[in-house]
């Protein structure tokens, strides 16, 4: 990719710049689409139409909202910690944008071929909770603070099953570099026709994916684990005092986070940019298509759950994590390791 | 009956003044409302929190006080009070009107004909279904389930359409008058209502599948906000909240008014199926099954409703009740709505007092919310199903 | 199931004729007028005595009788087990409207007594939390009194508009 850019752009910083904003462009376009999709999904699940006025089936609704948000006054509460308050949304977005570096978007594009890709992603996304605690604390609002405390507890707890399930995949792949993980899943070897995705590798991988998906739902603060911003309990949680574009950045982060975690899931379990039909529809551009399509399917499932399920209570959330998910993921880890030893 | 001392579960929550590493802990007082998404209006709760656990809850009301009683005294016409009673419990306006009309008719000794009675009962029961739908929907919303809320609204909308055809209004009808009705129902009223009843029955099952039996929903509502029977009676709790505690008590059956004694229906009570008797889930499920009972009443009433009769024949030209006073109570979707009316033989009430069920039901909140978490608080408020317009009047 | 007349006979036997007085009303329901001093004892008796069992206070309302310069409190009682109703009244002079609270007997009275205080200025002795309930805490006057004059300014805001 870098060579391709260098072929028509003057070398140097510009190439690096263009190269590095590709994920940003994808995130922004995706966010516009995903927010529209969320509304449409919600609308159709609830027997209504969703936005219909702005363009064909309301496709421009998110753009209209964006314009509205930009025009809104940027309110900072009088007794807030101004510096932290203003900084928090940027750190939140930076954390999830930064994590895209290690995701192989197609066979021709990965931000950085770092060998500790997965480890890096896990590390940098935990910055997100820092920013949320920052936002909650700086707002000087008790509801925000409660939301921030919930986030801290939730993220710290759910990182454990996330990491352990990722670890069980790593046992199979033997590498932390996500590009290599994806390349291992090329081909249609299983049973002669199934793609060689890791999810088909062993029955325990299905369990691992289930655990991973539940944990990522909690990491992305999606229903039924959306306690940090649970609007019917904590007003808006850590977002309570935010308005205008700063709030928009949190929104963007939430959606970017959904995509990020879905893409990690896709890379680890569903063959990343690999086509499900072997060598049919393959190549770097098709790769990006498959990657994003698979990611969007997982994002859709997240939306589906959001509009179906109620919300857990904070202690039930912790119970679920520490009493069920963590033991299960460790047992699963051992079983996958045994499977690897035997077969 | 023994003295009721129970004040909810006994909790001993002591905070260490010092955690040992130099950090001090203290209780936090937080204002829940008046601008809060889940206080169903403008209720303010002053919560004392230990972490997220409520150690003390003080409701503050009055933000929606519209001087109903003072206005009614100054109205100079008993009939003009009806739009005001509409606005007390604005999601069950028909039931409020019915209560007021019955109280006035008893005071003035007016008999209305059967057609009026049947239409009133059908309207009141439709309104009960509509109000319960709203209560169920918003309760789900409080727990975090958004979709059932809109499913409920779709059904409620159909009821409002029926009301609109009859009265021209969708929320505040001014339809049931003292001695009659504002006007007769439209010709297709019977078929509309029958069609609604038919289409609505399967939706109750759908609602149960989607919300009532959802594992997360049960976990969030069972064993939460337990209201024991004796406490409920002592606090004067009424309606579905009382029946949720297992008290078989429904004014429609136990102190019949209008023509409710002509219908067959069950009084639904909570059984503690999912947890303790009298928890939030019980209060919720009572409302769900009560809709079914209301449908039964509507069906029976549609079958035996007479087709002729002037709905305005008993409306008095001048409303000037004899001196005297009356306390008359009816069952609204939220409980016992009583009107205490003192007449001094003039054209306006000397004193009119509405015993609003939400007001009394809400007063039990501090007693049952000790030891709950903030998220449970939301569930408890939702399960009591208050309408602030009625609490503050 | 007991009528108001029977209940009155029981009450006069227990508390004496002079404390409670039956007011028949041909039109609607009769009521019993009770002296303010004994209202708590009467309430406790009504709630706890076998065969009475008024376990439910349906309604508690303040009334201002302007012509007589009196304030009244009406208690509407009901028994869920015996299924009888009773209307009790307490009449007090306007300038000394004070009576014992029945909050300890029926919890319903907690908020209703606060409302009666708020709207009529009736003071309930022994109420655990005698604050205003509907009006703001620093509101002047008691709105439902017939001679109520609304204050001109509330915290610098003009009230009448």
pLDDT, one tens digit per residue, over B346-368 is 888 888 888 888 888 888 888 88
What integer pLDDT is reported at residue C161 of this predicted model?
67
Q: What is the pairing mode between strands C70-78 and C31-34? A: unpaired
Question: Residue B3 domain-assigned?
Answer: no
Contacts of B37 in chain A (CB under 8 A): 231-232, 235
pLDDT at B275 over 50: yes
Strand order in the sheet with C20-23: C20-23, C31-34, C85-93, C70-78, C56-65
What is the phi/psi pair of residue A284, to 5°? -60, -45
Q: Is residue B48 part of a domain?
A: no
Asked whether B and C share 3 or more beta-carbon pairs under 8 angstroms, the answer is yes
SS3 B53: strand
Higher confidence at residue C12 or residue B254? B254
- Does A341 have pLDDT greater than 50? yes
Quote the ipTM score.
0.85
Q: Is the pLDDT of residue B385 over 50?
A: yes
Closest chain B C-alpha to A223 CA, distance in angstroms = 8
User: For residue B212, is it within any domain?
Assistant: yes
Distances (CA, A) of A254 to A183, A217, A218, A245: 29, 11, 12, 14
Is the pLDDT reported for residue A8 higher than 70? no
> Per the CB < 8 Å rule, is C108 touching B234?
yes
The Cα of B230 is separated from the nearest Cα of chain A by a number of Å equal to 29
Do residues B195 and B162 lie in contact, with contact meaning Cβ atoms separated by under 8 Å?
no
Q: Do C107 and B363 touch (CB under 8 A)?
A: yes
Query: In this structure, what is the dihedral angle of CA atoms A22, A23, A26, A28, given to the nearest 10 degrees?
Result: -110
How many Å lie between the alpha carbon of C126 and the closest alpha carbon of chain B?
A: 17
Going by their DSSP bridges, the two strands B176-177 and C153-154 should be labelled as unpaired
Residue of B nearest to C48 (CA): B1
Residue at B344 is within a domain: yes
pLDDT at A3: 64
pLDDT per position as a tens digit, A94-115? 888 888 888 888 777 777 778 8
Higher pLDDT, C86 or B199: B199
Chain A interface mutation, best of B28, B31, B144, B379, highest count of A Cβ atoms under 10 Å: B144
Tokens of A249: 């950045």
User: Mean pLDDT of all residues in chain A?
Assistant: 83
C55 touches chain B (CB under 8 A): yes
Q: Which residue has the tokens 């014992």?
A: C100
Cα separation, C31 vs A167, in Å, equals 79
Hey, what's the torsion of the CAs at B50, B51, B53, B54, to 10 degrees? 50
Distance from CA of C37 to the nearest CA of B (A): 22
Helix (H) or strand (E) holding A206: helix A203-219
**Which residue in B150, B210, B374 is closest to A233 by CB distance?**
B374
Which residue segment(s) compose the domain that B178 sits in?
68-364
Nearest CA in chain C to B322: C27
Q: Region B212-228: what's the mean pLDDT?
A: 86
Q: Could A316 and B219 be called an inter-chain contact, meaning their C-beta atoms sit closer than 8 Å?
A: yes
Residue B241 confidence (pLDDT) above 80: yes
Across the range B55-72, mean pLDDT stands at 85
Does the beta-carbon distance from A309 to B30 stay under 8 Å?
no
Residue pair B99/B353 in contact (Cβ under 8 Å)? The answer is: no
Between the CA of residue A203 and those of A332, B301, B339, what are the distances in Å? Answer: 10, 59, 67
Distance to chain C for B176, nearest Cα, Å: 22
Residue A112 falls in which region: left (phi positive, over 0), alpha (psi -120 to 50) or beta: beta
Residues of chain B positioned with their CB less than 8 A from the CB of A318: none
Of A46, A146, A310, the CB nearest to B143: A310
Specify the number of domains making up chain B. Answer: 1
pLDDT of B1 reads: 37
Domains of chain C in start order, with CATH, are 4-158 (3.30.460.80)
Chain C (4-43) residues lying within 8 Å, Cβ to Cβ, of chain B: 25, 27-29, 31
| pLDDT of amino acid C24 | 66
Residue A258 has pLDDT above 80, yes or no: yes
Predicted local confidence at residue A190, as pLDDT: 65
- Which of these, A210, A182, A209, lies nearest to A196 by C-alpha position? A182
DSSP labels, A59-118: TTHHHHHHHHHHHS-----TTS-HHHHHHHHHHHHHHHHHHGGGSEEETTEES---TTHH
Q: pLDDT category, C73, cuts 50, 70, 90?
A: confident
Identify the band that residue B17 occupies on the pLDDT scale cut at 50, 70 and 90: low
At residue A159, the pLDDT reads 86
Contact C58 B329 (CB under 8 A): yes
Cβ-defined contact of C107 to B325 (cutoff 8 Å):
no
- Residue whose entry in the numeric block shows the structure tokens 């900072």: A76
Q: In angstroms, what separates the C-alpha of B331 from chain C's closest C-alpha?
A: 13
Q: How far is CA B382 from CA A232, B221, B241, B292, in A?
A: 11, 10, 11, 21
Is residue B83 situated within a structural domain? yes
A258: tokens are 């959904």
CATH assignment of the domain containing B109: 1.10.645.10
Distance CA C86, CA C76 (A): 6
Q: What is the mean pLDDT of chain B?
A: 84
Q: What is the pLDDT of residue B19?
A: 59
| Tens digits of residue pLDDT in B163-187 | 888 888 888 888 888 888 888 888 8
- Is the model more confident about A42 or about C25? A42
Paired tokens of B12? 């001993």
Site from C25, C62, C111 to mutate, B interface, most B CB atoms within 10 angstroms? C111
What's residue A189's pLDDT? 67
Minimum Cα–Cα distance from B390: chain C residue: C134
User: Helix, strand, or coil here: B352?
Assistant: strand
The pLDDT tens digits for B309-346 are 787 887 888 888 888 888 888 888 888 888 888 888 88
**A209-to-A169, A191, A195, A260, C97 alpha-carbon distances in Å:** 9, 20, 16, 15, 72
Residue B3: its pLDDT value, please? 43
CA distance B29 to A129: 25
Each residue's pLDDT tens digit, A191-209: 667 777 877 778 888 888 8
Q: How many CA atoms lie within 13 A of B18 on its CB side?
A: 3
Residue B13 vs residue A110, higher pLDDT: A110
Taking the CA of residue C141 and the nearest CA in chain B, the distance in Å comes to 14
Angle among Cα B15, B16, B20 to the nearest 5 degrees reads 155
pLDDT score at A191:
65
CA B6 to chain centre: 25
Interface contacts B/C by beta carbons within 8 Å = 91
Q: With b meaning 16 or more CB within 10 Å and e meaning fewer, what string describes C29-44? A: bbbbbbbbebbbebbe
Say if CB C82 and CB C1 are below 8 A apart.
Answer: yes
Most B CBs within 10 A among C72, C107, C159, hence the mutation to make, goes to C107
3-state per-residue secondary structure call for chain C:
CCCHHHHHHHHHHHHCCCCEEEECCCCCCCEEEECHHHHHHHHHHHHHCCCCCCCEEEEEEEEEECCCCEEEEEEEEECCCCCCEEEEEEEEEHHHCEEECCCCCCCHHHHHHHHHHHHHCCEEECCCCCCCCCCCCCCCCCCCCCCCCCCCEECCEECCC
Tokens 């995701």 appear where?
Answer: A103
In this complex, does chain B touch chain A, defined as having at least 3 beta-carbon pairs under 8 Å apart?
Answer: yes
Residue B16 counted as domain residue = no
Q: What pLDDT does residue C11 have?
A: 72
And the tokens for C58? Answer: 């349906």
Give 3-state DSSP helix, strand, coil % of chain B, rounded to 5: 45, 15, 40
Q: What is the mean pLDDT of residues B203-231?
A: 86
What value does the mean pLDDT take over residues A61-78? 86
Q: What is the DSSP letter of A194?
A: B
| pLDDT for the residue numbered A230 | 72
Residue C124 pLDDT: 85
In a domain, B58, yes or no: no
Q: Is the pLDDT of residue A50 over 80?
A: yes
* Cβ neighbours for B28, distance < 8 A, ≥ 6 positions apart: A142, B48, B49, B50
Q: Which residues from chain A sit within 8 angstroms of residue B36, using beta carbons?
A: 235
């Amino acid at each position: 990719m870098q060579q391709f850019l260098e072929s028509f752009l003057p070398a140097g910083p510009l190439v690096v710049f263009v190269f590095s904003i590709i994920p940003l462009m994808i995130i922004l376009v995706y966010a516009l689409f995903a927010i529209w999709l969320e509304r449409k999904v919600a609308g159709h699940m609830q027997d209504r139409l969703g936005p219909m006025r702005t363009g064909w089936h309301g496709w421009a609704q998110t753009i209209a909202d964006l314009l509205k948000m930009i025009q809104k006054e940027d309110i900072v509460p009088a007794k807030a910690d101004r510096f932290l308050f203003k900084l928090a949304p940027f750190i939140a977005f930076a954390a999830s944008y930064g994590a895209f570096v290690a995701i192989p978007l197609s066979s021709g594009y990965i931000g950085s071929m770092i060998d500790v890709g997965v480890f890096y992603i896990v590390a940098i996304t935990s910055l997100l909770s820092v920013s949320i605690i920052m936002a909650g604390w700086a707002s000087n609002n008790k509801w925000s603070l409660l939301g921030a405390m919930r986030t801290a507890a939730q993220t710290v707890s759910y990182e454990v099953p996330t990491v352990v399930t990722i670890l069980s995949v790593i046992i199979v792949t033997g590498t932390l570099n996500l590009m290599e993980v994806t390349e291992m899943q090329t081909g249609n070897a299983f049973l002669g026709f199934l793609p060689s995705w890791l999810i088909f590798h062993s029955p325990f991988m299905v369990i691992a994916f289930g655990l991973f998906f539940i944990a990522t739902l909690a990491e992305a603060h999606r229903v039924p684990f959306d306690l940090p911003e649970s609007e019917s309990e904590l007003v808006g949680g850590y977002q309570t005092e935010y308005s205008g574009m700063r709030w928009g950045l949190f929104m963007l982060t939430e959606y970017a986070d959904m995509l990020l975690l879905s893409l990690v899931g896709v890379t680890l379990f569903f063959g990343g940019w690999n086509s499900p039909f072997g060598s049919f529809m393959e190549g770097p551009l098709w790769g990006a298509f498959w990657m994003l399509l698979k990611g969007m399917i997982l994002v859709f499932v997240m939306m589906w759950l959001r509009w179906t399920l109620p919300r857990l209570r904070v202690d039930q959330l912790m119970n679920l994590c520490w009493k069920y998910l963590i033991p299960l993921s460790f047992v699963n880890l051992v079983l996958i390791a045994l499977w690897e030893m035997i077969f | 009956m023994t003295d009721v001392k129970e004040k909810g579960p006994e909790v001993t929550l002591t905070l260490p003044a010092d955690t040992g590493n130099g950090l001090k802990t203290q209780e936090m007082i937080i204002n829940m409302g008046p601008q809060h998404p889940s206080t169903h209006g403008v209720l303010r709760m002053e919560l004392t929190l230990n972490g997220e656990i409520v150690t003390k809850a003080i409701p503050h009301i009055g933000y929606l006080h519209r001087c109903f009683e003072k206005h009614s005294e100054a109205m100079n016409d008993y009939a003009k009070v009806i739009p005001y009673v509409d606005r007390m419990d604005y999601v069950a306006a028909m039931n409020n009107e019915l209560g007021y009309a019955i109280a006035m008719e008893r005071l003035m000794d007016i008999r209305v004909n059967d057609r009026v009675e049947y239409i009133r009962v059908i309207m009141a029961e439709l309104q009960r279904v509509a109000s319960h739908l709203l209560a169920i929907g918003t309760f789900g919303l409080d727990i975090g389930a958004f979709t059932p809320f809109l499913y409920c609204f779709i059904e409620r909308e159909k009821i409002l359409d029926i009301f609109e055809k009859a009265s021209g209004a969708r929320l505040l009808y001014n339809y049931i008058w003292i001695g009659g009705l504002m006007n007769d129902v439209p010709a297709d009223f019977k078929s509309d209502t029958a069609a609604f009843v038919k289409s609505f029955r399967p939706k109750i099952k759908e609602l149960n599948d989607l919300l009532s039996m959802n594992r997360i929903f049960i976990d969030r509502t069972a064993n939460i906000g337990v209201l024991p029977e004796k406490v409920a009676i002592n606090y004067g709790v009424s309606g579905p909240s009382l029946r949720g505690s297992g008290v078989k008590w429904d004014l429609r059956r136990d102190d019949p008014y209008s023509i409710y004694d002509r219908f067959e229906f069950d009084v639904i009570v909570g059984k503690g199926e999912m947890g303790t008797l009298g928890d939030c889930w019980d209060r919720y499920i009572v409302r769900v099954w009560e809709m079914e009972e209301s449908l039964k009443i509507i069906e029976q009433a549609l079958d035996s409703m007479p087709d002729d009769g002037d709905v305005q024949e008993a409306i008095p030209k001048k409303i000037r009740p004899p001196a005297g006073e009356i306390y008359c109570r009816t069952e609204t979707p939220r409980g016992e709505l009583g009107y205490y009316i003192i007449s001094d033989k003039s054209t306006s009430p000397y004193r009119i007092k509405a015993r609003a069920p939400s007001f009394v039901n809400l007063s039990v909140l501090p007693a049952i919310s000790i030891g709950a978490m903030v998220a449970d608080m939301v569930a408890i408020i939702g399960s009591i199903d208050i309408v602030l317009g009625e609490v503050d009047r | 199931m007991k009528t108001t007349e029977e209940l009155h006979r029981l009450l006069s036997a227990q508390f004496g004729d002079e404390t409670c007085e039956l007011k028949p009303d041909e039109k609607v329901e009769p009521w019993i007028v009770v002296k303010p001093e004994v209202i708590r004892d009467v309430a406790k008796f009504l709630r706890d005595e076998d065969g009475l069992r008024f376990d439910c206070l349906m309604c508690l309302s303040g009334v201002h009788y302007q012509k007589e310069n009196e304030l009244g409190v009406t208690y509407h009682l009901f028994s869920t087990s015996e299924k009888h109703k009773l209307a009790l009244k307490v009449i007090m002079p306007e300038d000394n409207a004070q009576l014992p609270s029945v909050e300890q007997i029926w919890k319903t009275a907690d908020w209703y007594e606060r409302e009666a205080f708020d709207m009529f200025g009736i003071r309930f002795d022994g109420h655990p939390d005698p604050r205003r309930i509907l009006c703001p805490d620093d509101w002047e006057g008691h709105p439902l009194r017939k001679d109520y004059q609304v204050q001109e300014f509330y915290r610098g805001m003009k009230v009448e508009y």
